[in-house]
Structure 1
Amino acid sequence: MTMTRRTVLLGTATGALSFAARGVFASNFPQQPIRIIVPYAPGGITDILSRLIADKMSDSLPGARVIVDNRPGAAGLLGTNQVAKATPDGYTILMGSIAPLVIAKIAAKDLSYDPFTDFVPITQIASAPLILAVNPAMPVSNAPDLIDLLKKNPGKYNYSSAGAGAPSHLAYELFRKRYDVDMAHIPYKGTGASLVDLVAGEVQLTMDSAAGLLPFIKSGRLKPLGVAAKTRSPLMPDVPSLEEQGLGEFDVSGWYGYLAPTGTPATIIETLSDAINKTVALPEVTQQITELGAIANATSPQAFKQLLQDEYTRWRPIVEELGLKFG
Structure 2
Amino acid sequence: MAQVRTGRRALLAAPLLGAPALARAQSPLAGRPVTIIVPSPAGGGTDFSARLIQEPLGRALGTSVVVENRPGGNDVIGLNAVLNARPDGHTLLMGYCGTMAGRPATNSIGTIDPMRDFTPIGQVSDTPQLFVTHPSVPATNLREFITHAKQRPGELTYASAGNGSMHHLGAELLKQRAGIDMLHIPYRGTGETISDLIAGRVQFYMNSPPPLAPLVRDGRLRALSVSSNERHPGWPDIPSAAEQGLPDLDLNVWFALYAPRGVPAEVNAHLTARLNEVLALPALRARAFEAGALVSPLSPADISTRLVRETAAWREVVRAGNITLN
TM over 0.5: yes
Aligned residues: percent identity?
37
User: What does residue 128 of structure 1 align with?
Assistant: 127
Letter in 2 for 1:53: I
Distance of 1:220 and 1:54 partners within structure 2: 31
Preserved contact between residue 130 and residue 168 of structure 1 (Cα < 8 Å): no
User: What does residue 197 of structure 2 align with?
Assistant: 198
Preserved contact between residue 84 and residue 113 of structure 1 (Cα < 8 Å): no
User: What does residue 179 of structure 1 align with?
Assistant: 178
Letter in 2 for 1:230: N
> What is the SS of the residue equivalent to 1:56?
helix
Superposed displacement of residue 325, structure 1: 5.4
Deviates more, 1:134-143 or 1:95-104: 95-104
User: What does residue 52 of structure 1 align with?
Assistant: 52
- Equivalent positions of 1:268-283 (< 5 A) are 268-283=267-282
* CA distance 1:28–1:142, change in 2 (3 Å): closer
Output one character per residue of 1:153-197: Cα deviation in whole Å (capped at 9) or x when no partner: 223222111221111111110122222222211112222221121
Distance of 1:57 and 1:170 partners within structure 2: 32
Preserved contact between residue 187 and residue 193 of structure 2 (Cα < 8 Å): yes
- Equivalent positions of 1:148-187 (< 5 A) are 148-187=147-186
- Equivalent positions of 1:73-152 (< 5 A) are 73-108=72-107, 111-152=110-151
C-alpha RMSD of matched pairs (Å): 1.9
> What is the SS of the residue equivalent to 2:116?
coil
User: What does residue 11 of structure 1 align with?
Assistant: none
* CA distance 1:194–1:106, change in 2 (3 Å): same
Distance of 1:207 and 1:104 partners within structure 2: 17
Preserved contact between residue 224 and residue 239 of structure 1 (Cα < 8 Å): yes
Q: How many residues align?
A: 301
Distance of 1:312 and 1:251 partners within structure 2: 13
Q: Which runs of 5 or more residues in structure 2 are unaligned? A: 1-25
Letter in 2 for 1:44: G
Distance of 1:233 and 1:43 partners within structure 2: 21
- Equivalent positions of 1:285-324 (< 5 A) are 285-324=284-323
> What is the SS of the residue equivalent to 1:247?
coil
Superposed displacement of residue 107, structure 1: 2.4
Distance of 2:64 and 2:316 partners within structure 1: 42
Deviates more, 1:317-326 or 1:208-217: 317-326
Preserved contact between residue 229 and residue 247 of structure 2 (Cα < 8 Å): no
Q: Which runs of 5 or more residues in structure 1 are unaligned? A: 1-25
Deviates more, 1:303-312 or 1:122-131: 303-312
Letter in 2 for 1:38: V
Distance of 1:109 and 1:147 partners within structure 2: 29
Preserved contact between residue 86 and residue 92 of structure 1 (Cα < 8 Å): yes
